[in-house]
Amino acid sequence: MNRSLQWDIFCKVIDNFGDIGVCWRLAADLATRGHRVRLWADDASALAWMAPAGCPGVRVLRWTEPLDLHDAGLAQQPSDVMVEAFGCEIAPEFIASCAYSVGAGGLKPLWINLEYLSAEPYVERCHAMPSPVQSGPAAGWIKWFYYPGFTEATGGLLREPDLAERQARFDRSAWLANQGIPWTGEKLVSLFCYEPPALARLLAQLAQHGLDGQPVRLLVAAGRAQNAVKAIFNNKIGLQPNKDGIEQLSISYLPLLTQRDYDHLLWACDLNFVRGEDSVVRALWAGQAFVWQIYPQDDDAHLAKLHAFLDRLEAPPSLRAFHARWNAQSVCHQALGGTEADLTDLHAWQTWARAIRSRLMRQDDLGTRLLRFVAKNR
């Protein structure tokens, strides 16, 4: 597709890191490929630290109720593609404006519902399915359901065209020094999580035994992960991070990182604990061993999604067992007595992660597939 298109992406923020993070990555990816993007978000505050430099070609607009279209420039730049992310419904004022433009002789925009990432079997069945709009000013239009995924029969995974090149140039020692992290060769583990009940036992194992027979420096992401770790150390007098270089566990608390620096963190570490949708994809591209804490749901519906992910990517048995414990929602259900033994399988996890990265890198990324889909259906 050679012509530059005007995209409108709508995002309702539920998880401040995940929803807006995915939408920003998509918007920036499209813009770097020569397209124009208006990103409508009800809460774009996280972009102040996530993407402080912005991106040429991307405008961030506030999604108010009712939607204020005054400064959007729809008359000069009508929408070519409109995307409702994660099941949010595009503002009715915007739909009405698009319908008016079409009635005045403009082209009908392509309407895409970008769904959550999943490896469950239904994704291949439902990907790229049309759904006629039954009512409202856009009655008779088609909404297309677009599912990211891990196979050729899905919408793919977000990946910038220059990712592999940037990763090949990455200098771990220089980046750690620039972040003020006092690395002396110990194993590096990143921690980005909610509040898993298994966390206290994991910290105890790392403090007592390190990782893979070596001392560990734990790099803890800002926010809920830091609060959870500090609460554990405050409550357990006998469990303290390294102060004098003798014990096995040292801890560095990180500031909020840009999306680019979060990638660097994952590339730098030997083991990454990640959470939610955006960071698990970034962990896959890092090619390092990782453990995913999926967004928890009260009815345990998330566990089926987790098992499908581990099945699809053929995770080693020890990694599957660790995921089950890490994602259990209570101590009585996770019984993390085997953490030490599981972590000794780190080499197998690393081998698997690199093989999975290689396999997925051979597939077209989400941006490429999405542009192909638009060219076919618009």
Buried b (16+ CB within 10 A) or exposed e, 78-92: bbbbbbbbbebebbe
Sign of CA dihedral 94, 38, 147, 327: negative
**Which of 280, 281, 286 has its CA nearest to residue 263?**
286
Beta bridge partners, 142, equal 132
What does the block give as tokens for 353?
């992660």
Query: What phi, psi does 150 have (nearest 5°)?
Result: -110, 5
CA dihedral 110, 111, 117, 118 (to 10 degrees): -100
24 and 51 Cβ atoms separated by less than 8 Å: yes
Radius of gyration (Cα) for the chain, nearest Å?
A: 22
Sheet of 216-220, strands arranged across: 249-253, 216-220, 187-191, 271-275, 289-293
- How long, in residues, is the chain? 378
38 and 61 Cβ atoms separated by less than 8 Å: yes
Residue 246 CB neighbour total at 10 angstroms: 7
Query: What phi, psi does 296 have (nearest 5°)?
Result: -75, 145
Provide DSSP, 323-339: HHHHT-SSHHHH-GGGH
What does the block give as tokens for 192?
């980005």
Exactly one of 277, 278, 345, 365 is catalytic; name it: 277
340 is catalytic: no
The packing angle between helices 276-286 and 259-268, to 10°, is 50
300 is catalytic: no
Active centre residues (catalytic): 19, 277
